[in-house]
């Protein structure tokens, strides 16, 4: 029986970007503990739920240290000076047999298998580039004071998914962007959106780590309640 996007599939690989220094966090946040597991390890596990392989990109000075031992990673490579360069180096380590590639920020450890599966499903349905996104709930103003219509705005998350050939073409320009979907749009590729998860927050400062811990505790209680209800 062919694999579905809800099962790990060899034609789907992930690049998990974890080469940042974490200046705003006060250290390398990807190695911080979150409810008994490192942030990085949780992010790798989320991708592993749908991917046949995972490449982790770390800072060069971490390679060869215990921090570079990443459960679930098939390869660990050195990153570059920018996020885009780090993604390019990770992409180079993905085997040629992988036709679909997810790019995930290690700083989003609460990504769920369901979000990952939605991204892969959209790629299999024909999309070239896919991002998970959630509605913006805050009122947003421009620096000039204009209030934007938040019903037309979405906050974009990772993992983002791409057809491998198109992602390689985008990175062949050696341009930089805050995310890979931005690189794709510069080449004229359309980016599809799927439902993200409001809990899929990005760990930026220490307070975010506390929020993530609370969200995980809520998940655990909900899962325990669902199991109890089925007994």
In a domain, 104, yes or no: yes
In a domain, 1, yes or no: no
ω before 159 within 30° of 0 (cis)? yes
In a domain, 96, yes or no: yes
Query: What pTM was computed for the model?
Result: 0.92
| Residue 212 burial by Cβ neighbours in a 10 Å radius (0-12, 13-18, 19+) | buried
Residue 2: predicted pLDDT: 41
Distant-in-sequence contacts of 180-189, Cβ < 8 A, 24+ apart: 180/84, 180/87, 180/103, 180/129, 181/129, 181/131, 181/156, 183/84, 184/128, 184/129, 189/128, 189/129
Residue 27: predicted pLDDT: 78
Which residue in 55, 50, 42 sits closest to 118, CA to CA?
Answer: 50
Q: Which CATH number covers residue 67?
A: 3.90.550.10
Q: What are 87's two structure tokens?
A: 């993604």
Taking 60 as the threshold, does the pLDDT of residue 134 lie above it?
yes
The single residue listed with the structure tokens 């000039």 is: 144
Taking 50 as the threshold, does the pLDDT of residue 74 lie above it?
yes
In a domain, 142, yes or no: no
What would the mean pLDDT of 30-58 be, rounded to a whole number? 97
Percent of the chain scored above 90 by pLDDT?
Answer: 83
Distance of CA 147 to the CA centre of its chain: 30
Rounded distance between C-alpha atoms, residue 178 and residue 126, angstroms: 24
What would the mean pLDDT of 88-99 be, rounded to a whole number? 97
Cα Rg, the chain, nearest whole Å? 18
Mean pLDDT, the chain, whole residue set = 92
**Confidence bin at 50 (pLDDT 50/70/90):** very high
Contact of 160 with 129, CB cutoff 8 Å: yes
What would the mean pLDDT of 26-52 be, rounded to a whole number? 94
What would the mean pLDDT of 113-134 be, rounded to a whole number? 98
Residue 218: predicted pLDDT: 92
In a domain, 124, yes or no: yes
Rounded distance between C-alpha atoms, residue 166 and residue 172, angstroms: 10
Total structural domains within the chain: 1
In a domain, 146, yes or no: no
Taking 50 as the threshold, does the pLDDT of residue 213 lie above it?
yes
Residue 1: predicted pLDDT: 33
Determine the structural domain holding residue 15 and report its residue range.
9-130+156-230
In a domain, 137, yes or no: no
- Residue 176 vs residue 38, higher pLDDT: 38
The single residue listed with the structure tokens 């995930």 is: 104
As beta bridge partners, residue 104 has 16
């Amino acid at each position: 029986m062919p694999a579905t996007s809800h099962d790990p599939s060899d034609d789907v690989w992930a690049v998990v970007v974890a080469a940042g220094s974490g200046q705003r966090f006060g250290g390398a946040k990807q190695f911080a503990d979150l409810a008994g597991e490192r942030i990085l390890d949780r992010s790798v596990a989320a991708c592993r739920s749908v991917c046949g392989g995972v490449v982790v990109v770390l800072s060069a000075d971490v390679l060869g240290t215990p921090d570079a031992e990443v459960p679930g990673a098939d390869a660990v490579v050195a990153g570059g000076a920018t996020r885009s360069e780090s993604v390019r180096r990770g992409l180079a380590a993905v085997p040629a047999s992988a036709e679909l590639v997810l790019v995930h920020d290690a700083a989003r450890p609460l990504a769920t298998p369901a979000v990952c599966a939605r991204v892969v499903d959209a790629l299999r349905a024909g999309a070239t580039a896919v991002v998970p996104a959630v509605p913006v709930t805050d009122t947003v103003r421009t620096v000039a004071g204009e209030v934007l219509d938040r019903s037309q705005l979405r906050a974009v998350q990772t993992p983002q998914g791409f057809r491998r050939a198109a992602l390689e073409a985008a990175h062949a320009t050696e341009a930089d962007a805050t995310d890979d979907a931005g690189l794709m749009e510069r080449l004229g590729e359309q980016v599809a959106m799927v439902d993200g998860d409001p809990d899929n927050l990005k760990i930026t400062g220490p307070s975010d780590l506390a929020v993530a811990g609370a969200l995980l505790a809520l998940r655990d209680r909900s899962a325990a309640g669902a199991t109890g209800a089925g007994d």
